[in-house]
Amino acid sequence: MIASFLRRGALVLLASPIVPPSGPSQAAPKSAEAFIPVRFTDIRQSAGITFVQDSTQTDEKYYLETMGTGVAFLDYDQDGLIDLYFVQSAATEAYKPAHPLRSALYRNNGDGTFTDVTEKAGVGGEGHYGQGVAVGDFDNDGYPDLYVTGYGRAILYHNNGNGTFTDVTAKAGVADEGQWSTSAGWFDYDKDGYLDLVVTNYLDWSPKNNLWCGEKKPGYRSYCNPNNYKGQKTRLFHNNHDGTFTDVSLKSSVGVPESKGMGVVLADFNGDGWPDMAIANDTWPNFLFENNHDGTFTDVSLISGLAASEDGRYEAGMGIDAADVDGDGLLDVYITHLDFELNRLYHNNGDATFTDFTYSSGIGNKAMLLSGVAAKFIDYDNDGWPDIVQANGAMVDNVALYHSLVSYKEPLLMFHNTGGGHFEKSSDALGADFTRPVAARGLATADFFNDGTMGIAVNCRGESPELLRNDGAAANHWIEILLIGTQSNRDGIGATLKLKAGDITRIDQAKGGTSYMSSSDPRIHFGLGKRTKVDSLTITWPSGRVDHLADLHADSIIAVKEGQGVVPHAFPKVARK
């Protein structure tokens, strides 16, 4: 009974210098030399992560319960080690937990363990029904700040630089009061050197209009389809450079159309040097807003080909990310959907349009019985091609009563890029921890060992999260870049990086948003395969400045400061136990 199911959406998109359109390359599948075995190991327990997400579920089947919550990787104390933040729910009219619920910040101790520093940091958000988290240094002071979305309101935590945060929501004017905010992202849409904020909002749902869906017999009540509720609208907040923001949603045009936003990615999709905005909507046309360079955006969703599937359907998009999957210099888009729909890969044609390459890329219907929630591009084996990791889990806990082929808890999914944008499902080779069924929601990726191996964190609905260590990728070479803007925003969001190493050229961007209600490692990661050095790295900053670097050593993390090149920065390697 599909109509009883909940739909979510997310889309991500990226572009770089324009080249002639093409599909997945027929050239160069991965060589046997570059292939290495990788397994993922869940180290949550040994790492000291005791957080448990509370689903707040009751027989009332509040729509809010299904969403789950996000997760973020960030270096909040700037010690070069990647820390973790898990978003939590809160009490509802129908659910009163025995103890107050709070989000949790964990400090990376540098020895494979983490310490809960939530109370000291002041980012627990008790009483706030959290949803997602976006990380960005909005005041350019060198310390990342947290924007936590949620039902009814959002919270902006300013990083004080001493291990503590201050709730500055009211002063900043970004509470998004009365809305149901899901994902958010930071980007500098007017290129004035300060990060602005995009917030996606979902549905006009409340306990008072919580409908009964599903069959009216014991155990069969279900969560409703989003088409039963009116959508909300996107918010865009302009940074005023003084700790406050101005709501420019209507002025910019992005807040005009009704939306059912679930995910957002912020990047230059058409190669004009200005960041655009892509929003994945739930059972609603996905949005692509093109930056007009004057503070306004043009809605090109339908003509771009991203609004719907190849057969014209508006699907339940949730997770979103973008990467150049085929090496043509253009960033392609991946969007997850629920069971009995397809996860879509959209190829960037280089002319401001996209083509649905889901089948021709090899992804096809290989995950049709899984409900895709979050997704990230990740080069998990460091061979130089971006792979896709996807978190799955049905929205409806009693889904098996309606579909015998579908389970509530589902395994993670990995699509391995075999070269040139062709993918094969590789999940079963990645270990039992990777394929253990969970009710996954938010997903983020990071090199939290500082050794070039990209790990994964998953926030799971109603249970402990997963913290998956990557075992094996270090057999191939890699490089990571931390951007430090000066004229541009401090995080360098919006920068384009072009890397050449031997016979390969790779392009990526520092993006805002991505995944589903989550934030990943801000450092840009490139796998290099067997190549031992980077011949050149060109960084085009949002300010327009271009920095050229050459002869960089592989297997290193470097900090690059705008206009200065590589600068000293500690990135302590974490010992593996």
Residues 421-474 have pLDDT tens digits of 999 999 999 999 999 999 999 999 999 999 999 999 999 999 999 999 999 999
Convert the pLDDT of each residue in 278-331 to its tens digit. 999 999 999 999 999 999 999 999 999 999 988 888 988 899 999 999 999 998
pLDDT band per the 50, 70, 90 thresholds, residue 577: confident
Is the model's pLDDT at 13 over the cut of 50?
Answer: no
**Mean per-residue pLDDT for 109-122?**
98
The contacts of residue 491 (CB under 8 Å, 6+ apart) are: 136, 137, 144, 186, 195, 483, 485, 510, 522
> Can you tell me the mean pLDDT for 333-353?
93
Mean pLDDT for the chain? Answer: 93
Lowest mean pLDDT segment, chosen from 10-24, 157-171, 561-575: 10-24
Give the pLDDT of residue 225. 87
Put the strands of the sheet holding 287-291 in their side by side order. 297-299, 287-291, 276-281, 261-267, 512-513
pLDDT of residue 12: 29
What are the structure tokens assigned to 470, written together? 């990557």
pLDDT band for position 34 (cuts 50, 70, 90): low
d(CA 447, CA 199): 27
Question: Which residue shows structure tokens 């998004």?
Answer: 176
CA 436 to chain centre: 22
Is the distance from CB of 437 to CB of 463 less than 8 angstroms?
Answer: no
Which residue, chain included where needed, has tokens 């990726």?
Answer: 445
Q: What is the pLDDT of residue 310?
A: 87
What's the Cα-to-Cα distance from 52 to each of 432, 464, 491, rounded to whole Å?
Answer: 21, 4, 30
Who wins on pLDDT, 387 or 11?
387
Residues 279, 142, 162, CA angle at the centre, nearest 5°? 115
pLDDT at 389 over 60: yes
- Helices in 161-288 by DSSP H: which ranges? 169-172, 249-252
pLDDT at 172 over 90: yes
Task: State the pLDDT confidence band at 334, using cuts at 50, 70 and 90.
Answer: very high
Share of the chain above pLDDT 90, in %: 86
pTM over 0.75: yes
Of 164 and 214, more confident: 164
Identity of the residue numbered 18: I
Write out the two tokens for 197: 């904020």
